[in-house]
Amino acid sequence: MRWGILFAVLMLLAAACSSSDDSAATETTAAPTTTLASTTTVAPTTTAAPTTTAAPTTTAAPTTTAAPTTTAAPTTTAAPTTTVPTLPDQIPGDQGQTVWVIYMGAWVEDDYTADAYDAAVASARALGYDFYGGYDLACDSGGHAVLGFPDPKVGLRAAGFYFATEDDARMVVAALGEDVLGWGTIDVFCAD
């Protein structure tokens, strides 16, 4: 039975092959006689006439006009004004009173130079203050320390002036700048 099925399949294949060969042959033979005789016509081709293009035109280059310039009128600025703060009044200092002192000139008793004292007086007077002379620092208890001399026995003389508060003294020190040799608190003696 197996052989029978196999034989039947082979027969079908053979029949299919032979029918496709016949149709292919028919198509091949029939195609040249009908197609060539009736449909092949070569039509003449026409070429379009050449076209001419207009020559390019030139346009004038655009012109630029500079924008008008404006010059600002010069301005004048007033020089800044400096306002000098109102400086506090100096005080004379009473016997035993604690005050704030500003020293502008100092010297050892035997080594006095008028230049140092005169410069100190001029700076103080320019601000409206006055010294009452160069006096012995033994009369200003603490004056040696304010000037950086630890030994109060050294005979120092100084040109200084007194103020009631630290704020007053600080304001004057700021106004005098480099001319200040030292400043701080002392107790006034020799004022009786």
Per the model's pLDDT, the better-predicted residue between 26 and 168 turns out to be: 168
pLDDT at 190 over 80: yes
Helix (H, G, I), strand (E, B) or coil at 55: coil
pLDDT at 121: 79
Note the pTM of the prediction, 2 decimals.
Answer: 0.54
pLDDT band for position 184 (cuts 50, 70, 90): very high
Q: For residues 183 and 99, what is the distance between their CA atoms, to the nearest angstrom?
A: 11
Q: How far is CA 178 from CA 103, 121, 130, in A?
A: 11, 14, 18
CA dihedral 151, 171, 164, 155 (to 10 degrees): 20
Per the model's pLDDT, the better-predicted residue between 158 and 131 turns out to be: 158
* Dihedral sign, Cα of residue 33, residue 39, residue 40, residue 41: positive
Per the model's pLDDT, the better-predicted residue between 123 and 60 turns out to be: 123
pLDDT at 131 over 60: yes
Helix (H, G, I), strand (E, B) or coil at 158: strand
Q: What is the pLDDT of residues 59-87, one digit of tens each?
A: 555 555 566 665 666 666 666 666 667 99
pLDDT band for position 28 (cuts 50, 70, 90): very low
Q: How far is CA 99 from CA 25, 37, 184, in A?
A: 141, 142, 8
**Stretch 108-129: mean pLDDT, rounded?**
80
pLDDT band for position 155 (cuts 50, 70, 90): confident
Mean pLDDT of the chain: 72
Q: For residues 176 and 124, what is the distance between their CA atoms, to the nearest angstrom?
A: 8
**Stretch 10-30: mean pLDDT, rounded?**
52
